[in-house]
Amino acid sequence: MQVSFTPAEIIALVQPSQTRGATEATIRGIGALSTAGAGEISFLGNAKYRAEVGACRASIILLPPDFEGEPQPGQLYLLVEQPSVALARICARIEQQLWPRPAPGIHPTAVIDASATVDPAATVGPLCIVEAGAIIGAGSHLQAQVFVGRNARVGANCWLMPSVVVGTECILADRVRLHPGVVVGSDGFGYEFVQGRHEKVPQVGIVEIGDDVEIGANSTLDRARFSRTVVGEGTKIDNLVQVAHNVIIGRHCILCAQVGISGSTTLEDYVVLGGQAGVAGHLTLGRGVKSGGAAAITSSVAAGTFVNGAPARAYMLERRLQVLFGRLPELFKRVAELEAQIKLSSA
């Protein structure tokens, strides 16, 4: 990453309430307290690392306002309300350098059907395909090798990264971000078993994705059998996640990597699922349900519940059961001793 900030530029970005010390170093990188060196910026994001600040060799350190202690020579402390928010502001500036906004227009190698509508303020990169009747909104960016199928609609200011596939008739709202290899609109997995063979149940619904949704690399979202598979506004989905047909995901949910949601299940708003969690079909997870990683959720869960385990149980119960599970050797021994004593006493 080609980063280059003067201390004055950093100060202008993070607006510290106080500064201590001074440095003339150009900042060329960001590092954790324990690893950052001269020419880098670091930050105290979590109070438990407070003791590491003194030995940190970064040229600039972002610290909370109540931090006590003095910088080393040639080191600059910047006291800010929230060091991690301040760091995010610096990172956002770097982000603009890494992925500068592309100029609008259609790359000559893109294949655009004559009946597709690409907004003049959209960017369609090299080797993209936009099929008949599809619509690409203003400010949206199809980066490279993207496929948008017949009559699909991509809203405004979306970013579809290399190798993304958006299937026929599917709908993306505004500011949707799809990482490389995401597939939106593959067929739902539905068959009828007829005379020893699995006959395909046609999957003729769509996938509809709300505003500000972000979906991680190589995740897959199946179109509905009929009607819609839905991902609600503001929901964030990590890599390699599977969303089956007719799933309804609410607003502002978090699905960590490798989660799988089976068909026709509903997640209400603010659900959070840990990595590799799986949810069976035709269930409802109420508002704010949380699961641990690798949880196997086999029945509906009431709003606000935190579950864990396989099969998933209420978090504190599962935790207690796991402790007792670890004590099984002891329990078997105790029962054997009881049996010996009973035998003795009845002898």
Catalytic residues: 245
Q: Do 166 and 172 meet the contact criterion of CB atoms below 8 Å apart?
A: yes
Burial class (CB in 10 A: 0-12, 13-18, 19+), 108: exposed
* Beta partners for residue 231, in sequence order: 209, 249
* Residue placing its CB nearer to a copy of itself in the complex, 73 or 196: 196
* Residue placing its CB nearer to a copy of itself in the complex, 57 or 225: 225
What is the chain's length? Answer: 347
* Residue placing its CB nearer to a copy of itself in the complex, 15 or 18: 15
Shortest Å distance, C-beta 7 to a copy of itself: 18
Backbone phi, psi, residue 47, to 5°: -55, -25
Shortest Å distance, C-beta 112 to a copy of itself: 10
* Residue placing its CB nearer to a copy of itself in the complex, 149 or 286: 149
CA distance 19 to 76: 7
* Residue placing its CB nearer to a copy of itself in the complex, 140 or 235: 235
Shortest Å distance, C-beta 70 to a copy of itself: 26
* Residue placing its CB nearer to a copy of itself in the complex, 65 or 311: 311
Shortest Å distance, C-beta 342 to a copy of itself: 5
209 CB-near residues (< 8 Å, 6+ apart): 170, 171, 172, 173, 176, 184, 215, 221, 230, 231
CA atoms within 13 A on the CB side of 281: 9
Q: How far from 71 is each of 20, 22, 210, 231, 249, CA to CA, in Å?
A: 7, 9, 47, 48, 48
Shortest Å distance, C-beta 77 to a copy of itself: 19
Q: What is the CA radius of gyration of the chain?
A: 27
Structural tokens at position 337:
């001793």
Buried b (16+ CB within 10 A) or exposed e, 204-227: ebbbbbbbbbbbbbebbbbbbbee
Backbone phi, psi, residue 51, to 5°: -70, -15
Shortest Å distance, C-beta 73 to a copy of itself: 25
